[in-house]
Amino acid sequence: MYRFLLTPRWWGINVFVLLAIPFCIFMGSWQLGRFEDRVEAHDAAQAQADRQAAPSRSQAKARPLDSLLPVDQETSGERASAKGRYGKQLLVPDRELDDKSGYYVLTLLHTDSGKDLPVVRGWLPGNASAAKAPSAPSGEVTVTGVLQASESPGSNGVSSAGGLPNGQLGAISAASLVNVVRGDVYDAWVTLEKGDSGMKAVPAAAPANTGLDLKAFQNLGYTGEWFVFAGFVVFMWFRLFRREREFARDAALGLLPEEPAGATEAAGTAATAEPAGTAAATEAAGTAATTEAAQTEAAGAGTAEPAAEAPRGA
């Protein structure tokens, strides 16, 4: 009854099932691991934010900027210090703080290393206005603030709109500043712990890819999909197996449905009609040949009779 499992068709089905199920389980486990990694990163970032918010954080000694680069999940949010002179000032519009819309005042600090460091000196409410933004201090200054990674347009509330007026910036990043300043720019920025010139200080943001964002829940959804695929493969194999087994059992018991009688009779009638038609055609051809021979014989007899009467006349 189960000999059908040895057919080439079922060999192909079995090989496919044996390969598909482990693959689906592996992909589901991998997506689940990605989700768990994001959860752990979120918990670690939250713990780091709590430590930074503690009173002891402000007492921690700021470290030199170059010792904290490049910015990663470990160094993002650490206190950094740099020396230099303030230069070009820019505005970053459409930034919210305390549920109010406003803009950042960003000034480039030309450091002793020759690179420019973007420094967010504070936040002001309303529409971006260069006239309202206070000027940066002159002379050499020492800046102490919280180190942040470069922003990506379209993430964490960062505007991706272009066509901003001259002197405004959409995202705080080296890629956005490369066409604004002539020299090299640090791939990082610093927000002052205390707002400069009466402005509100901009709080530090959590490092990228450390929150339970849409990508994390996409990984969780993909996990469920892969496990559902594995279950569907097993379900379809048992369904095909059951149908094939029932077919083999019915064939062994002679319970397979026969062809309809009408179709068999019609086929037999068509097969019988064909020889009959052939015989009729043959008979008609023979009759025509007999008639033609009789006519030829009669014509020959008519010709011979005048030839025989000719001597009597003479």
pLDDT average per 10 residues of sequence, the chain (314 residues): 81 93 95 88 68 54 90 84 94 92 95 93 94 93 92 67 82 87 90 89 73 76 94 94 86 70 51 47 51 50 44 41
Cβ proximity of 54 and 77 under 8 Å: no
Q: What is the pLDDT of residues 268-307, one digit of tens each?
A: 555 444 444 444 445 544 555 455 544 545 444 444 444 4
Output the pLDDT for position 239: 92
Q: How far apart are CA 19 and CA 256, in angstroms?
A: 34
Output the pLDDT for position 295: 53
Output the pLDDT for position 292: 54
Output the pLDDT for position 61: 83
Token pair listed for 301: 């007899």
Token pair listed for 71: 């910015």
Q: What is the pLDDT of residues 177-217, one digit of tens each?
A: 988 888 899 999 999 988 888 899 998 876 655 556 677 78
C-alpha torsion 292→298→303→306, nearest 10: -170
Sign (positive or negative) of CA dihedral 116, 122, 125, 130: negative
Output the pLDDT for position 15: 93
Q: Which of 96, 195, 186, 95 is nearest to 148 (CA)?
A: 186
Output the pLDDT for position 5: 80
Q: What is the 3-state secondary structure (H, E, C) of the chain?
A: CCHHHHCHHHHHHHHHHHHHHHHHHHHHHHHHHHHHHHHHHHHHHHHHHHHHHCHHHHHCCCEEHHHHCCCCCCCCCCEEEEEEEEEEEEEEEEEEECCEEEEEEEEEEEECCCCEEEEEEEEEECCCCCCCCCCCCCCEEEEEEEEEECCCCCCCCCCCCCCCCCCECCCCCHHHHCCCCCCCECCEEEEECCCHHHCECCCCCCCCCCCCCHHHHHHHHHHHHHHHHHHHHHHHHHHHHHHHHHHHHHHHCCCCCCCCHHHHHHHHHHHHHHHHHHHHHHHHHHHHHHHHHHHHHHHHHHHHHHHHHHHHHC
